[in-house]
Amino acid sequence: MSHREQHHRIDYIEFAATDIEQVKRFYTSVFGWSFQDYGPDYAAFSAASAGIDGGFYKAAVVPEPVRTAPLVVLYSADLAATDSAIRAAGGSIVVPTFEFPGGRRFHFADGAGNTLAVWSE
């Protein structure tokens, strides 16, 4: 089976997590993502709920992000509501909301060792 239209495009993204159940609860609660478990050490999410296919794998320790690590940026139609949902789900804001040409964004930690960003117009 050929996937020529996917040639050289981002196809999948994986994150480390020390607690698979916690990370599933967090992303389901905040962003509405759904998951498919592949054993106790892996949970996948789909493009249908997250915008891209990917997953979380079980890691004994999640190292601090390296400065050159890619930053995954999610979109929100309501930045303030997303900020509140992240905090309510046990996440934390690690870079407060700031403006950039074209919008605003903040960075958050999900409590499982991952830092992502959320932007809006």
DSSP alpha helices (H): ranges in the chain?
Answer: 20-31, 47-50, 79-88
Average pLDDT, the chain: 88
Higher pLDDT, 28 or 5: 28
The predicted model scores a pTM of 0.80
3-state secondary structure of 2: coil
- What structural domains and CATH numbers belong to the chain? 4-60+67-120 (3.10.180.10)
Contact between 20 and 43 under an 8 Å Cβ cutoff? The reply is yes
pLDDT in tens, 85-112: 999 999 999 999 999 988 999 999 998 8
3-state secondary structure of 98: strand
From the number of C-beta atoms within 10 Å of its C-beta (0-12, 13-18, 19+), residue 114 rates as buried
From the number of C-beta atoms within 10 Å of its C-beta (0-12, 13-18, 19+), residue 17 rates as buried
Beta bridge pairs of residue 109: 92, 115
pLDDT in tens, 73-90: 899 999 999 999 999 999
